[in-house]
Structure 1
Amino acid sequence: MGDEHDANRKGWPLESCQLHVPPLDELAHVLRQGLALHFAFVQVDVVDCPDLSQSPFHLTAPGLGGDPSLVDLGGVPYLVPTVHRDRIYDLADLPAAMNVKDGTVSMIGAGAGPWQHLETNCEMMTNLSLSLEAGKSSSLVVDNGTRLATVDPSGRRILHVVPPKQTRCSLLNNLLVSRGLPRTPVLRIRCQKRTGPDNFVTCMRNTVRQRYGHQPVGMGGVFMLENGQARLHIMPDFSPCPLQTDADVNNWLHFYNATGPLINLSVFISHDPGLDLRVEHTHCFSTHGEGGHYHEDVSPETVVYEGYFTPAERLFRIDRPSQTHGVGRD
């Protein structure tokens, strides 16, 4: 979505690269064949994107079209083993960092929420549209459908609606950023009755990786878990003790099963071109008060997925951690 910059306006380092963008018809064929190995029913078609601002998706933008890009902001090393509370980002700064000066910018994805807003760590389901007017920073119009999920020490879970002007996140965020244009060609993917061990997103990512190898193909979109249940987690408040292993992280997280319909905001990339990326990340919310980080469905016999995805043209890597590890990336 623009020319490469050395850093965004807050000074976080920024790297970017072009992604491989296969033709949609080709991607549909690849996914149709690959997903059939994991689901009893698979349908993948190229369609004009429906209005995703309407039920059941409830996005702030009607579509996924217009310069689609992936943004990988921060990273898990800012969360574990110990939290870096200085990693606070304002998503309203992203358009300038991506050299976008006017028009609408839509963001959907999965991240860590603004802990200072709720005074606790939280999951973030990013669902945000910004309208910009060139040369007028004060004219920013925000349409904010973002949700935050928290869990308190007693295990009480809350799904929060953020105030319109609350555009911050912290630590990490994985986003599909586009102009939110309606009626552009996208992939409609519908799967029923999971027969393999992997979750819906991992099945898509592995299918694309097996076909395109070291050519990085990035995709983002929204999907419904229409029927069945999914295993989610919500991060509690920051751990007072360092989390050194995946077992430490899993013992700290609050896991639970949520019931569909669940609205999932998802991004994935088939191959990391050396930028220390989170290769897939999906968060979900609902109209009945449940949400969090999606792991997999727990009702393979009855599960129904339907979603709309677009390939991304470019990847922006912002504030890549200088010291990294592989812990806590499931």
Structure 2
Amino acid sequence: MATGCLHKCFPLHLPPLLEIKEVIETAMKPQYKELSVEVCDCPDLTQMPWDMACGGLGGDTATFHFGGVPYLLPVPDKSKVYDMQEIINITGVKNPFVIGPGAASREQVGINSELIANLRVGEVPVNKSRASKIEAGNCKLEMYPSTKTGPIADLFVSEGTPGPVLKIHAKQRLGK
């Protein structure tokens, strides 16, 4: 497993949510017959249909990209196994909530598969992550109890607290 990973941290500009709303609305409006973009309170994401490990997306945040396509092609590098909990400790976020896509660990699933990360690590861990794999020609979705990933992942980390979010409703795409 990759431990003591080399990493770089970059501070990113975080524009106000209203500014992001206006940019998204302006860019999407010509592409949809119906469009609404609004800033609202985040619903409780622990409830259906979301079933997330935390109730919100707020608090301190960070994004992570680790591993990469060179570890997947031309043949997956089976030695590239990362532990999300170890990597996320770099942020200093207390009890971090982690969501995002990646490769599941072959050690856990047995074959190349997709990871849908949805977990809280820290004092009271909750893991609702899933792995998707092809089995007998069909897609199989199963719970993924591990914090290990395969050779690539893109993760969003937050404290999982309530706060404002963007609600986007788009219907009937007009563009190509």
Alignment TM-score, normalising by the size of structure 2: 0.93
Distance 1:55 1:29 in 2: 29
Unaligned runs of 5+ in 2: none
**Residue 129 of structure 1 is aligned with which of 102, 115, 120?**
120
Matched, 1:190 2:172: no
Unaligned runs of 5+ in 1: 1-8, 133-140, 198-330
1:71-86 correspondence to structure 2 within 5 Å: 71-86=64-79
Q: Displacement, 1:156? A: 2.2
Residues 1:160 and 2:164 are matched in the alignment: no
Amino acid at match of 1:108: I
> What CA deviation, in whole Å up to 9, does each residue of 1:91-146 have, x standing for no partner?
1113322234xx320000000001111211100111011133xxxxxxxx320111
> For 1:1-330, what aligned pairs fall within 5 Å after superposition?
10-100=3-93, 103-132=94-123, 141-152=124-135, 154-163=136-145, 166-182=146-162, 184-197=163-176
Superposed structure 1 runs of 4+ greater than 6 Å apart: none
Task: Give the C-alpha shift of residue 157 in structure 1.
Answer: 1.8
> Number of aligned pairs?
175
Root-mean-square deviation (CA, aligned residues, Å) is: 1.5
Q: Which has the higher contact order (CA 8 A, sep 6+)?
A: 2
Given the two structures, how large is their TM-score scaled by the length of structure 1? 0.51
Distance 2:88 2:130 in 1: 21
The equivalent residue for 1:311 is none
Distance 2:20 2:85 in 1: 32
Give 1:151 shift. 0.4
Percentage identity across paired residues of the two chains: 33
Measure the CA separation in 1 of the matches of 2:50 and 2:169: 15
